[in-house]
Amino acid sequence: MPKPPAGASLPISAPEGDAYAQLLHLVVRGDLAPGTRLTEPALALRLGLSRTPVREAMQRLQLEGLLVPAGGGERPRVAVAPLDIDEARAVYQTTGLLEGAGARGVSEWPALRRRTLATALRQADKEFRDIARAKTPDPALLFEKHHAFHQRIVDETATSVSRALLHSLGSRLARYEWFHGPLLQLAGLPFAPTYDEHQAIVIAVRSGSADDVERAIRANWTNAAERLAQAIMRARAAIGSY
């Protein structure tokens, strides 16, 4: 029984009038730099809304960790959360933990259904590769196609409980993922390891071994975190500061 697609709602688009989506978009894409102080009136003005919906969006993003309390005051002033390699590792690791644990469930599926999912994942990965192969891949498309691959797994295997957690984590994840592809390119690092790991996931899903599926997914996310960390280091060295 495939769960409903659940409408990705990731910051590909930012519908005007949806304060949360717009603000998420601004933070994920870096239009609001880490450390930037945000005030409700200023943001309301910028988004063309009143304080009420903007305030709600800010509170939600604070729960999701994209905004953090700033300044020593009692009343919380808020700022865009800093980017932090250790936090990125924790986010990737935890994503792998949740996604992997849910995906163990494929071992109880009939082989046909596993085959169908494996095929869909292979197709999703192909679309990802097609974008990544380009000389200068469109960051938004790259992000979207990679996200689609994993989202497919989540949609089909996660419980509503872990899906909710993954969605919440997804905001932070998206923030790091947004820079992931471009940083790899900048650092001259290849996409090939990702292809291989995605293929391992596909094969494991088809085989139906719970341990293999979980291992493959967790490895993918753990390694992705290390690749990102490495890319950041190299880019730092190449550019000078970060």
Binding site for a second copy (CB under 8 A): 52, 56, 59-60, 63, 65, 87, 90-91, 93-94, 97-98, 101, 159-162, 164-165, 168-169, 172
Min dist. Cβ of residue 43 to DNA (A): 8
Query: From the DSSP assignment, how many helices (H) and strands (E) are in the chain?
Result: 9, 3
- What is the rounded CA–CA span in Å between residue 197 and residue 218? 10
| Local structure of 78: helix, strand or coil | strand
Min dist. Cβ of residue 56 to DNA (A): 7
Q: What CA–CA distances, in Å, run from 45 to 26, 30, 153, 154?
A: 14, 19, 39, 37
Q: Taking the alpha carbons of 180, 229, 21, 29 in that order, is the dihedral positive or negative?
A: negative
Burial class (CB in 10 A: 0-12, 13-18, 19+), 86: exposed
| 36 binding partner (options a second copy, DNA, none; Cβ < 5 to 8 Å by kind) | none
| 73 binding partner (options a second copy, DNA, none; Cβ < 5 to 8 Å by kind) | DNA
| 134 binding partner (options a second copy, DNA, none; Cβ < 5 to 8 Å by kind) | none
| 98 binding partner (options a second copy, DNA, none; Cβ < 5 to 8 Å by kind) | a second copy
Min dist. Cβ of residue 15 to DNA (A): 10
Report the residue number, 141 or 229, with the smaller CB distance to a second copy: 229
Min dist. Cβ of residue 65 to a second copy (A): 6
Q: Shortest CA distance to 102 belongs to which of 217, 235, 4, 179?
A: 217
Whats the size of the chain, residue-wise?
242
Using the CB atoms, write b or e for 139-176: b if 16+ within 10 Å.
Answer: bebbbbbbbbbbbbbbbbbbeeebbeebbebbbbbbbb
Min dist. Cβ of residue 30 to DNA (A): 21
| 30 binding partner (options DNA, a second copy, none; Cβ < 5 to 8 Å by kind) | none
| 116 binding partner (options a second copy, DNA, none; Cβ < 5 to 8 Å by kind) | none
Report the residue number, 39 or 159, with the smaller CB distance to DNA: 39
Report the residue number, 100 or 137, with the smaller CB distance to a second copy: 100
Report the residue number, 7 or 73, with the smaller CB distance to DNA: 73
Angle (CA) 208 211 213, round 5°: 55
